[in-house]
Amino acid sequence: MKPFNIGIIGLGARGVVLLSSLIKIPELNVAAVCDNDLGRVERYRELCREKGLSEPFSTVDYRELLARDLDAVIVSTTWNTHVPIAVAAMRAGKHVGIEVGGALCEQDCWELVKTSEETGRFCMMLENCCYGDNELTVFNMARQGLFGEIVHAAGGYEHDLREQIALGGEMRHGRMVNFLHRNGDLYPTHQLGPIAKLLNINRGNRILSVVSVASKARGVHHWIEKNRPDDSELMRADWKEGDVVTSILRCAGGETIVLTHACTLPRPYSRDGRIQGTRGLWLEERDAVFVEDDAPQTVSNPDGEHHWSPLSDYKAEYRHPLWVEYDRKGIAKEGHNDMDYLVLCAFADSLEHGEPPIDVYDTATWMAVTYLSEQSVAMGGTPVPMPDFTSGRWLNRAPERRSKYALTEICREQFE
């Protein structure tokens, strides 16, 4: 595979973290970078020097970056700027890897879809959680029928981000303005991405509707009272985002998906995954599974109760071959960089072969949950319809391109 020249737009926390994975992927050469904050551009250049990398072209104006001869760009700016930048990039002939986040409105989702269709450039959401070790193990178990027919799935983004949200002004972080003025599932894709792939959303199945209900918003104010009581402006702020937003998605195949967004209350991080079918389930919070056929003792055990087995008991047999291969390569792992590395490998593979495993229809559908949940919350939990961004093609689309990184099936022949 030739090295592809890519640009990165958005050099905040995420843009910087991505670099440590990108330098392990020889097929991706960071040839240009941009942030509209000059300080962040300079920090990135300094980082390249520290790591002994040649300095990429850099600019504070993304249009200058898009004018260059690049194969693709990664958009890792704040949520509310993703769509205009991604659309401009596709119009400039670049494939796009767009960082995770929700959409502001339906028009933005359609614009992504129509621009990708018109230009022939792909727009792949870089949803790293689709490549998580546990997510892919559970996917493998589900595809091999251990959980039976899948009936229900759930997941959450439950992350205590009170400081980042409350101090978004001084930290220049984009979450703050959204938590001040919006109320819905602002960050649905970490949990929804793997579930949507498992349920074949946009290939034989689709999400029909979204219902969302939000709790009151107290968490950020409470944090400010405790940590910044003298900041009168922050003390007066009227945060609109409910502390816990719960959404129920109904699918054409009859499945339900429950998503939880909770970033403003104290708690340890969780994505709270659950995949449940007619023969068993996985529950991430317990790091455990129950598989009826593997547990005959549950029928006759003295207390008559079902018992959990650790997911690790199933890893030897059901780990996804992508992770088996990745471990064999012995690439040093840091934080959740492993998922970042794999999603970026999938991006590179898509540049080489076309047809990314997360395409523009997936990207638009997953992002749409955000504005739909805001609408539903605003109407007291009324169901709102999910647009069909495939325009009917979900009914009989061709199977996904076969690759190591495929997310609707496991292409075993791709691995040695």
Judged by the rule CB under 6 A, the positions of this chain that interact with ligand NAD are 9-15, 34-37, 40, 62, 76-79, 81, 99-101, 128, 173-174
Which of 81/270 has CB closer to ligand NAD? 81
CB of 20 to ligand NAD, least distance (A): 13
Q: Which is nearer to ligand NAD, 101 or 194 (CB)?
A: 101
Q: Which residue is nearest to ligand NAD (CB)?
A: 12
Closest CA to 97 of 1, 30, 42: 30
| Smallest separation, CB 112 to ligand NAD (Å) | 14
Beta carbon nearer to ligand NAD, 62 or 122: 62
Q: How far is the CB of 128 from ligand NAD (least distance, A)?
A: 5
User: Smallest distance from the beta carbon of 16 to ligand NAD, in angstroms?
Assistant: 8
* Closest CB to ligand NAD among residues 152, 173: 173
Cβ-based nearer residue to ligand NAD, 14 or 306: 14
Considering the complex, state which of residue 276 and residue 370 has its C-beta at the smaller distance from ligand NAD: 370
Rounded to the nearest whole angstrom, what is the least distance from the CB of residue 357 to ligand NAD in the complex?
15
Give least dist CB 308 to ligand NAD, A.
28
Query: Which CB sits closer to ligand NAD, 29 or 59?
Result: 59
Q: How far is the CB of 70 from ligand NAD (least distance, A)?
A: 15
